Each structure stands twice: as C-alpha cells, then as structure tokens.
Amino acid sequence: MNNPDPTAAPAGVPANLANTHRPADRYGFVQAAGARLRFACWNSLAAARGTVVVLPGRGEFIEKYATEAVGKLLDRGFAVHALDWRGQGLSDRPLPDHDKGHVDNFTTYMADLKLFLDTIVTPTAPRPVLAVAHSMGGHILLRLLAENGAGPLAAALTVSPMTGLHRQWLLQGVLTIAPELPTVDHCYLPGGGPFARESRTFATNIVTHDERRFHFTDDWFRADPRLTLGGPTFGWGRQALRSMAASLAPGTLERIDPPILLVSASGDRLVDIASHGPVIARIRHGRHVIIEGAAHEIMMETDPLLSQFWQAFDRLADEVAG
C-alpha cells in the first residue's frame, strides 16, 4: 500500500531553489478510496525530537513547503511527513480536466487524512507528533480532530485555517442559484479557470508580501507541470461551505482535546479572521496568535513576519516535544 514509487518524486527541481530545497528520504503513494494519495517523508538528521505532519492548503503541494519550511523543521530536530490532498499536487485528480480543483465532499478529505495518519504516520513516526496545517488543511484537520479524535497527534498548529471566508455571502448566493448537478458542480466557479501563468503577478497577489516566495509556485510548476492546478469548481465551493458549517455546529469544536495553536494573519483577504477568535475560544486547549501585517500565506511571508511564525511554532514545540 505504501511502497516507494519513483513517480511520486518531483520530475525536476528549479535551479534557483536547489540550495534550500530538501528532497524527501521517501516519496510514495497510499491507495485511498478512488484515488492514490501522494506523500513524502523526511528523517531528522539529529536524534528526533518528534515528527511534524505538514498539511498544505487548497492548490498547494508538498514541494512548496519542501523549498524552505521542511528544512527549518529538520534543523529543529523533527522528522517530517507531508501529504498532497487528492485533486492537487501529485495525488490523483478526480476530474478529466487536470486543472479543476474539485472534491465530492470534504468528508473524503477527512477520510484521506485519517488513512494517511493511520498507515503512514502512526507506524513509524517518532513521537510526539505535531501537525502544521495551512488554510484548507487547517480546516480539515480541526474537523477530523473534532469528529474522529486525536489519533497520533499530540498538538497542532493551524495557520490561517479556513473557518470563514471573506465575501462568503457572495459565494453562498452564487451556489444557491446554481443547481446541484454534476454538469454544474464540475464547472469552475466564476472568476476561475485553468492555471494561467500570465495571470499570476506579484503586484496583484493577496497572499504574501515576499516576491521571491510568491514565485515558489510558478518555479515548481515549470519544473514539474504535473503539479499545476487552476481554480475551484462549484462543487468544491459548495462542499467547503457545508464543511465549515458542520465544523462550527454546536458541540463540535468542544470535542477537540489536544492543544491547538491558531495563527492568524491580520491582513488576510481570503480567510475571515473574525471567525478565528470564536473558534479558538471553543477549543479546550486552544490559543490564538495574530501576526500583524501578514497576508494569508504566513509561511511564505517576508523574513520579519515569518520569524514571528517560527517563534510561535517553537513555543508550542518546546512545550510538547521539549
């Protein structure tokens, strides 16, 4: 089920990122219901303090974090495991159009994450196990913890978790008038479409203030075109709203037991950080940090802002892993 597979490794490494990129010790696939899920594992170079599980956001992929963040974790003495969500990275895509970001239901993501934790992480990962989950990944993780328990995880850091969206009312309105049919749900949401390199400019981006890190995505897409992804579908948007509502249902977040550090970006223009305070207040061992001036992708921000993220991570890691 989890044998190494050479096709799970990136086809190439951008020359300008080679100095900081940390190739995994093992790339592979795990067979889930209807899809192969791609994962990567790094062994800590020192005596492992524990393991960090990296869970990207929508449209992201393992290499984006392997460019710098994984190296920072390895240097801190942690082994690292990372997952490509189905429909992105090198995991299988659910629709014939490779660029459509689609899922049938967010419970599918949850089942995929549970499978990854049970079959890849739990058997071999040095303890304790911490998760670092961004945006959509943070939402999926919080919902899994609430509905299925902690599993191998001793703590988690959620970065800009998707607990509410800016202009969510607009998305809800569009979906209300769009019939729930495959012919509709498999179409791009308005304003989206296939990946188009010419439409991605640093000057118009809303996710980071760091131009070099903004281009990590484009650099990797050139090195391995299999990684490209376009906009989300009507179906993805519909299921995202339903999943956020399910996670916020009375009594749900209160079931989360391990310590959770929620890190918000004050300048987030994708996720509505007004939703973060009420969420963390309902989690038994929850704490909240707001990084002033940061945009949505805190882990891809400028060095001064990024250093604040790593300070927050180190405080949690010191408490959990010593």
Residue 286 within any structural domain of the chain? yes
CB neighbour list of residue 184: distance below 8 Å, 6 or more residues apart: 178, 234
Show the tokens assigned to 190.
Answer: 């308005």
Residue 1 within any structural domain of the chain? no
Gyration radius of the chain's alpha carbons: 18
89 in Cβ contact with 60 (< 8 Å): yes
Show the tokens assigned to 234.
Answer: 């009507």
Strands 129-134 and 78-83, how do they pair? unpaired
Show the tokens assigned to 69.
Answer: 């963040």
Q: The CATH number of the domain where 309 resides is what?
A: 3.40.50.1820
Backbone angles phi, psi at 268, to 5 degrees: -65, 125
pLDDT in tens, 53-107: 999 999 999 999 999 999 999 999 999 999 999 999 999 999 999 999 999 999 9
Residue 247 within any structural domain of the chain? yes
175 in Cβ contact with 275 (< 8 Å): no
Range of the domain at 250: 6-321
| Residues of the chain where predicted confidence (pLDDT) is lower than 70 | 1-4, 45-47
Total number of domains in the chain: 1
Strands 50-55 and 78-83, how do they pair? parallel
What pLDDT does 1 receive? Answer: 45
Read off the pTM. 0.97
